[in-house]
Structure 1
């Protein structure tokens, strides 16, 4: 049974997150972003502790998308992201969350730990240009991406460079 109250709150929080990040991308203004992330992280910890991963069965497809986004942006708490990754993996295995969410969060956790990513979803801006973070087994990248429902690395790279021009 879908919990509309939980889904609505996820959507409200994700909308606030998206607006703040878009403002940062467009203007360079990031005031308040750290607090938004901290509040969302604390809240997501309580949600996951109480309900497990908020997948589609609990919060609907959009709610599951919003939950993933909030955890993806919990970068100041890599331990929480790592724990949430295990919950998300179980949800994906049960068909309650999309595999692409698992790909993105897996890469996020790996990069935060100083390791090479698997799916090529994480980029860095070194001040001169946007570049993908190092990838393990680059020859098998597109095959791994396809298995997770992602497009090719080249198509993703093109979108990233359009979205975040240097």
Structure 2
């Protein structure tokens, strides 16, 4: 195991979470979160280019999870690029399927297509936070169970955003694809 990579991944993921908690608590600006994300993305890009996806064999279970977190908060073009690498790592038992589910859903959201696992929620203005649109909502809990995620309550499934609602509220992002 590469202890230096693991330690740096854990340090960077801790900074990521601290900045987000600070921002959510009203104590910090979104600009600081974005600065940390940009720095983490640049660093992870170099690691992936040199070593491939930092999976469990290279950086341990917690290090691999930290790599996913950095990818989850990277710009969409990096997420798309890293999605197949994470998928391959999961297939060989070198990363967690649950992490893949989150990144896959995030990529779908950025592409304006329904998510598969129900990991992404969103509130707009005074609207309550709701699930982003779901692909085949009737099977989402089976897909979640397969990747060790808890089920989503029927009420939340029934109240998930619909594509047409988001197209009206966010036409620049959720327009026809």
TM-score of the superposed pair, with normalisation by structure 1: 0.88
Task: Write the distance in 1 (CA, Å) between the matches of 2:123 and 2:151.
Answer: 21
Task: Write the distance in 2 (CA, Å) between the matches of 1:125 and 1:4.
Answer: 39
Give aligned pairs, total: 153
User: What secondary structure, in the 3-state scheme, does the structure 2 residue paired with 1:152 have?
Assistant: coil
Task: Write the distance in 1 (CA, Å) between the matches of 2:124 and 2:107.
Answer: 20
Match of 1:114 among 98, 112, 115: 112
User: What secondary structure, in the 3-state scheme, does the structure 1 residue paired with 2:125 have?
Assistant: coil
Larger Rg belongs to:
2
Task: Write the distance in 1 (CA, Å) between the matches of 2:27 and 2:144.
Answer: 31
Task: Write the distance in 1 (CA, Å) between the matches of 2:60 and 2:151.
Answer: 27
Structure-2 residue corresponding to 1:90: 88
User: What secondary structure, in the 3-state scheme, does the structure 1 residue paired with 2:25 have?
Assistant: helix
Deviation of residue 28 (structure 1)?
A: 6.0
1:16-165 superposed matches below 5 A: 16-27=15-26, 29=28, 30-74=30-74, 77-128=75-126, 129-154=128-153
Task: Write the distance in 2 (CA, Å) between the matches of 1:68 and 1:38.
Answer: 15
Deviation of residue 154 (structure 1)?
A: 2.2
Q: Deviations over 1:16-51 (max 9, x none)?
A: 101000111111632411110001011111111111
Structure 2: gaps spanning 5 or more residues: 157-177
User: What secondary structure, in the 3-state scheme, does the structure 1 residue paired with 2:130 have?
Assistant: strand
After superposition, the CA RMSD in angstroms is 1.3
Structure 1: gaps spanning 5 or more residues: 158-166
Task: Write the distance in 1 (CA, Å) between the matches of 2:6 and 2:63.
Answer: 5
TM-score of the superposed pair, with normalisation by structure 2: 0.83
User: What secondary structure, in the 3-state scheme, does the structure 2 residue paired with 1:42 have?
Assistant: helix
